[in-house]
Structure 1
């Protein structure tokens, strides 16, 4: 759907959940290309793709959009509007507009230009999980354009239910809603947390942040680097990464973030202390979530005079970065008398955009695993998600594509 069409046609509800895909063990990987459909962890057979599918979370673009958007995000959880309105106030403080859609438009355009510069003649379609342009409308448009094989890039670098498997479920929903299950095949690039093009902007940011702290009079031993990411339920974290991290506390989700942080600190600021913290918790207070919270971590740093926040869990400076870090965490630091600064997310940093092109090329070329770009102790990650990988704790398997079911 073009931006003009999306502006003229406002739809409040995301596609319904898919019902037509098989979820029994051993089923052929749903909607995948021939090279991936029998579920090899890494695909080293070249595939000719027709287009790239850039998939975002979505966000409201006006005050009237806020509650419908949040209903989409929380669908099936029975959360009343009164509680949603508490979160809505974060969006309303910005005029009801999330920056994430404009950021993804910018990323889409940068990716198109970078693909063309690399000699890859692939159009880029952008669709959201929770707001316009919805994925089913975008897939219907792609089918009309003659697209049959797509390589999908979710705007999330790590393994967890909300950052990987839920994208795959929503692609299945969208294919069914658009009636394109037997028309369009969708593969997914690997989780890209370990790609140097994703990590390099954080390396640069930490170097600059440490220099700024030192320039403000803070000695290296008085600086704490807080790598932050979205908190998730502990039970979901345990299931992230499938059998590679079976039973490991925090699962692949925590392990991947720690691996990135370790690399960044070794490259940018060896000797400076750091920790992994979490933010943006939601849900029942009785449900255990990954901790510590970034604000609690700041308060506990009585022997530090400066804090550098590094949002390694995020691709762009969307609302949870602007509100939870730039507003709430900053206020916490100011109350504690602690100097604070934040590193930018990758956004459209050239190395990040080039990394996305490289992820597409490695699948198009069928690149060997040993030849893939990777800078952390973990990786390169799987092309085809493994059985049970990133399942929702306590939930029945839902139809999902680009992975081995259930």
Structure 2
């Protein structure tokens, strides 16, 4: 597992390099963030900031925590050097993080983290440490995924007990923001879909996204060969296989796109057919509730909800429909197409054939062609004042409706100038010239 070790920056006076930075260096990976334990954090932060042209600022002045942002995105954190370094290391979460490095290259490893790294093993320092901060249960999954490690049996059993006690109210749930950060780290990884399965296996998904779990065991039929939950994970896998640069809102939307299906499932119309009418609307609201609970930024929550709500939009069958599709959903493109393609490729049930997949691909190509043809909306032909004067109406919903109708007609090529727009509105709203 170990590769050639990268060079390290000069150590501050009397400093230890601790935790993840020491771990990554030991693995032969250049650390992106450095954690230093030093005798005088404020002084050490100021010296480093002056040397590299960075910005030093306090994280917690009462405890003496300081941070330096270095140009290029590297970050250095400084904390007071503990009186008992071994005791401090043994209070950490996992053995691979309970290590420190001295300036002369000596490794302090009281819990055997180096051997665990060599064995690709993720082992807790103690179950007490996990229970002291239950977020470490989620962190275990992140380290498995991002470091390529595997929980040892005793640690896995302890994580399951932590999850069970959290669910029973015997331990306090971590702050939603902290859970969010762990989930986003998992979603940002190429193996995001398997990591969600791992959360489920350990009992953590129910504490993170209970709405997503509702799809477990819910059959779909038709175009689908997987249950609702498995289909969501396969869609996420398909998205990342095709579009590895997808941002987090698109990944969230893909994972949650069918979250409304369990609550809209209906078999009463025909015993041999299951329907999920309106699941995109219900799903958009459930996605909004889940991500708001996890404290995602409002703009990102809005985008995820909009993508979920729009993912069932029929694809166009001709160029005119394609222009309308682009006009009405421009702000969601091209992400909406990526979500729809991932959804379609994840569905390989008995009704899915090469012909239907080809037809779907043609619809996407029409939208892309229309988007390329008109990459930005043209300037409006009429203003609200123009509409009020033309239709002799006061400010209100009619003005907005008229402006939207003109904008769509303009996007479809049905009106080309202000004169044609006025004629269009007279006809549309029953006004004679």
Query: TM-score interval w.r.t. the shorter chain?
Result: under 0.3
Larger Rg: 2
- Give the alignment's TM-score, normalised by structure 2: 0.24
Per chain length, whose mean CA-contact separation is higher, i.e. which structure has more relative contact order (CA < 8 Å, sep 6+)?
A: 1
Judging by fraction of residues, say which structure has more helix: 2
- Give the alignment's TM-score, normalised by structure 1: 0.25
